[in-house]
Structure 1
Amino acid sequence: MVNRFILNEVSYFGPGARKELPGVVRRFGYKKALVVTDKSLMKFGVAKMVIDELDAAGIVYDIFDDVKPNPTVTNVKDGIAACKAAGADFIVAIGGGSAMDTAKGIGIVCNNPEFSDIVSLEGVADTKKKSLPIIALPTTAGTAAETTINYVIVDEENQKKMVCVDPNDIPAVAIVDAELMYSLPKGLTASTGMDAMTHAIEGYITKAAWEMSDMFEIKAIEMIHKYLPIAVNEPENPEGRNGMAVAQYIAGMAFSNVGLGVDHGMAHPMSALHDVPHGVACAILLPTVMRFNAPAAKDKYAEIAKACGVYRDGMTLDEAVEAACNEIANLSRIVGIPEHLSELGIHEEDIPALAEQAINDVCTPGNPREVTKEDIIAIYKSIL
């Protein structure tokens, strides 16, 4: 079996890393940027922390700040138009997964115009050229979109989330600066952090996992378990914020290359049909999906228990599995994730439509345990 591993050309880490941006632009010889971000990050000055670096260096740019929390096909098309109008030769993406996913869609279509309908990018798209170069600066510690070959766009017409997988979309440069995350609200810190934990756990147990991906994912689980409560409760604590910033990137390096599972398969329609924030959707499902998958991954669950510090000498394998599942559920409660779908406005009559999309989601086949639509319905119902 041949395993593939794709990473950014270069990445920078640490508080203040955004100051590397001008040097990166000069080194690559880029001329004009399209800054892709959202209005909230502009309003609260987070994007300005990056834009100030462009201004100080005299780098020319236009701004596209119409990114939606769950970006749509129309959103991406508007961004493509803005990019062409600007005459930009590279993109600076500032934000969470929404901004970076939008930037990936823009960058791919700008260099592969035959995919301009956007919906043809769903799944594994046969693009021929790399994206317009993207320099990605995450403002949340969760999606790891700055280092993945995946992006997610809502198809409004068909009311579904399209998962797009394309090695050509990976940002050329990732700049992971924890200072851009200090003002992230408590709830968003928690949900994006649990999204990162979901990435790490699903990436660790997915069918395609192997030694290299395992090495990254188990370290990410350990770090997220340690640093997420600090980041949530002490938002300006550099240790917690930087720990999470690095941990979510580590998780992304691996899951981008090996895939995910049914948790993400079930979370995507929750966002598409009910506008549930992606991190919340992943997190609310995670403890129950872990229990469903346990028979297919007992040995790895024991390692998760060790990474979370809840493994005890003399534990049986089943006891270690239970300890791992309980601890992830406990972490979710500690950081304030809802426990029931009804808290998110989802009701029993909504489940069949959710399950139909979930069983057909591109992430679901990677699940370590074979799953049917009836299994998915049962999982949804168990957390109503």
Structure 2
Amino acid sequence: MRQIKLGADRIYFGEDAVKALAELPAVRKRAYIVMSGTIQEELGQLKVVTDVLESAGFAWKSNTNVEPEPCWESVRQGVEEMREFEPDWVIGFGGGSAMDAAKAMWVFYENPQYKSLEEVMPPAPLELRKKARVCCITTSAGTGSECTRAALIKDPVQKRKYSVREYTGKLIPDVAILDPIFSVTMPRRGTVGCGMDALTHAIESYVTPLANPFSDAQAIGAWIYGYRALPICANEPDNLQARGDMLAASCLAGISFSNCALGICHGVAHTFGATYGIPHGLANAVALPYSIDFNANHDSHARKRYEELATFVGKNDLKKTIIDLRRQLDVPATMKELVPDEGTFNTDFDTLVQKVLTDVATPANPVKITEEYASEMLRRVYYGE
């Protein structure tokens, strides 16, 4: 038996979706808004959000101290602020970093008995929605964190990423707002990285052994809409139709992998990201065709599933389709272009292998990843074929 949860309790999608904030049910009417940096404030987007909240009688407090890849210390500091402010809504406003940080802060706000990331790892019991609920307003189209059951938090001391998660879906936000007006200002590089992250979610969730009819439906929709919309978003940033489709694709892909899993591409991307600071979506974009080739050569069922995905967009070779898309979007072909110090890579290699093997995404890969296979993948992603 499986428990399926297809996203947030309420998803508001399309232009003016932000106005749904006025409908958030609350007693204290206090909203704690988590952002990654001050960009939303500088662009005037925060005021759009707070105007709606204030019109509904909400008081609010903002936190702009979250890093591009959220770290434990900023989460901990946010929790301290929340305990003083006592919000009944926590709002993650921004890309995956802001939304993940908001969800992680919420976990520790609701569960003060836990003092570290290690302590909240499954199967630790989590009490949620006793103090507050969560709304995520996404400004990017990549992580799908507005509808996922996990939050990825980095420990820069250990150079490790923790997936704060709860398998029954408690960590999935109550409300998700997908308003394309917030994504038009994203730079091309960010649009590409986030979009490739969403496509990776769709592809990996479709080939994992844990895939099921519900995750398949979301993955297929995410792949088709995302593949078509991403180049338009990159080249026509003000195209609201394409931006909306890409937001939908990202959200669908997030729902998909929340109801199955990911695989070796994410295991490798997490490893390079945590060790060398490579942005997550970009790391996935570099690793994706190598993971497709690896799995297709070792597992006939995965190869068939990849072929199906290619046909859904009128192609016959998924690896080539991704390479062509990557080239069109100016994505590097190898990780060496991003981590040029080969000596450092070789010195770190044994540690990198172990990080891949212990990554939360690796076990669900269609091919069981051994130390030999992890080494092979790392070298191929770094050096190319």
Q: Please indicate, yes or no, whether the TM-score normalized by the shorter chain is above 0.5.
A: yes
**2:231 aligned partner:** 229
Alpha-carbon distance in 2 for matches of 1:351, 1:228:
33
Equivalent in 175, 178, 181 of residue 176 of structure 1: 178
Alignment of 1:343 with 2:337, yes or no, is: yes
Superposed CA offset, 1:262-292 (max 9, x none): 1111111212111111101111100000111
Superposed CA offset, 1:292-322 (max 9, x none): 11142122112111122113xxxxxxxxxxx
Equivalent in 231, 234, 253 of residue 251 of structure 1: 253
Alpha-carbon RMSD across the aligned residues, in angstroms, is 1.6
1:105 and 1:118 in contact (8 A); partners too = no
When residues 337 and 46 of structure 1 are mapped into structure 2, their CA distance, relative to the original with a 3 A threshold, is: farther
- Return 182-191 or 248-257, whichever deviates more: 248-257
SS at match of 1:290: helix
Please report how far the alpha carbon of residue 123 of structure 1 lies from its aligned counterpart in structure 2 after TM superposition: 4.6
**2:204 aligned partner:** 202
**2:124 aligned partner:** 125
Q: Which consecutive unaligned segments of at least 5 residues does structure 1 have? A: 312-322
Alpha-carbon distance in 1 for matches of 2:105, 2:381:
37
**1:370 aligned partner:** 368
Alpha-carbon distance in 1 for matches of 2:124, 2:165:
7
Alpha-carbon distance in 2 for matches of 1:353, 1:198:
24
**1:76 aligned partner:** 75
Alpha-carbon distance in 2 for matches of 1:220, 1:363:
19
1:73 and 1:119 in contact (8 A); partners too = no
2:155 and 2:162 in contact (8 A); partners too = yes
**1:317 aligned partner:** none
Alpha-carbon distance in 2 for matches of 1:236, 1:79:
33
2:203 and 2:223 in contact (8 A); partners too = yes
- Return 63-72 or 41-50, whichever deviates more: 41-50
Please report how far the alpha carbon of residue 47 of structure 1 lies from its aligned counterpart in structure 2 after TM superposition: 2.7
Alignment of 1:329 with 2:328, yes or no, is: no
SS at match of 1:258: coil
User: What residue identity is the alignment partner of 1:285?
Assistant: A
Alpha-carbon distance in 1 for matches of 2:367, 2:208:
9
Please report how far the alpha carbon of residue 28 of structure 1 lies from its aligned counterpart in structure 2 after TM superposition: 4.4
Alpha-carbon distance in 1 for matches of 2:187, 2:121:
32
**1:110 aligned partner:** 109
User: What residue identity is the alignment partner of 2:306?
Assistant: Y
User: What residue identity is the alignment partner of 1:374?
Assistant: E
When residues 328 and 170 of structure 1 are mapped into structure 2, their CA distance, relative to the original with a 3 A threshold, is: same
Please report how far the alpha carbon of residue 30 of structure 1 lies from its aligned counterpart in structure 2 after TM superposition: 5.2
Equivalent in 305, 308, 319 of residue 310 of structure 2: 305
4+ long deviations beyond 6 Å: none
2:26 and 2:88 in contact (8 A); partners too = no
- Return 367-376 or 277-286, whichever deviates more: 367-376
Please report how far the alpha carbon of residue 111 of structure 1 lies from its aligned counterpart in structure 2 after TM superposition: 1.1
**2:276 aligned partner:** 274
Please report how far the alpha carbon of residue 171 of structure 1 lies from its aligned counterpart in structure 2 after TM superposition: 0.8
Superposed CA offset, 1:140-197 (max 9, x none): 0000000000111112332101112213221110011111101000000000000000
2:121 and 2:165 in contact (8 A); partners too = yes
SS at match of 2:289: helix
SS at match of 1:168: coil
Q: In the TM superposition, what are the counterparts of 1:209-228 in structure 2 within 5 Å?
A: 209-228=211-230
1:108 and 1:130 in contact (8 A); partners too = no
Alignment of 1:90 with 2:122, yes or no, is: no
Alpha-carbon distance in 1 for matches of 2:353, 2:103:
28
1:213 and 1:258 in contact (8 A); partners too = yes
Alpha-carbon distance in 2 for matches of 1:264, 1:81:
32
SS at match of 1:293: helix
Please report how far the alpha carbon of residue 14 of structure 1 lies from its aligned counterpart in structure 2 after TM superposition: 0.5
Equivalent in 334, 355, 366 of residue 357 of structure 1: 355
Please report how far the alpha carbon of residue 130 of structure 1 lies from its aligned counterpart in structure 2 after TM superposition: 4.1
Please report how far the alpha carbon of residue 95 of structure 1 lies from its aligned counterpart in structure 2 after TM superposition: 0.7
Alpha-carbon distance in 2 for matches of 1:163, 1:186:
28
User: What residue identity is the alignment partner of 2:164?
Assistant: C
1:49 and 1:180 in contact (8 A); partners too = no
Alignment of 1:144 with 2:144, yes or no, is: yes
Alpha-carbon distance in 2 for matches of 1:256, 1:367:
15
**1:316 aligned partner:** none
Give the structure-2-normalised TM-score: 0.92
Alpha-carbon distance in 2 for matches of 1:325, 1:68:
33
Give the structure-1-normalised TM-score: 0.92
How many aligned positions are there? 370
Please report how far the alpha carbon of residue 328 of structure 1 lies from its aligned counterpart in structure 2 after TM superposition: 1.2
When residues 130 and 292 of structure 1 are mapped into structure 2, their CA distance, relative to the original with a 3 A threshold, is: farther
When residues 118 and 308 of structure 1 are mapped into structure 2, their CA distance, relative to the original with a 3 A threshold, is: same
1:70 and 1:271 in contact (8 A); partners too = no
Alpha-carbon distance in 2 for matches of 1:124, 1:130:
18
**1:21 aligned partner:** 21
2:133 and 2:174 in contact (8 A); partners too = yes
Q: Which consecutive unaligned segments of at least 5 residues does structure 2 have? A: none
Q: In the TM superposition, what are the counterparts of 1:274-293 in structure 2 within 5 Å?
A: 274-293=276-295
1:94 and 1:100 in contact (8 A); partners too = yes
User: What residue identity is the alignment partner of 2:307?
Assistant: A
Alpha-carbon distance in 1 for matches of 2:90, 2:2:
30
Please report how far the alpha carbon of residue 247 of structure 1 lies from its aligned counterpart in structure 2 after TM superposition: 0.8
Please report how far the alpha carbon of residue 338 of structure 1 lies from its aligned counterpart in structure 2 after TM superposition: 1.4
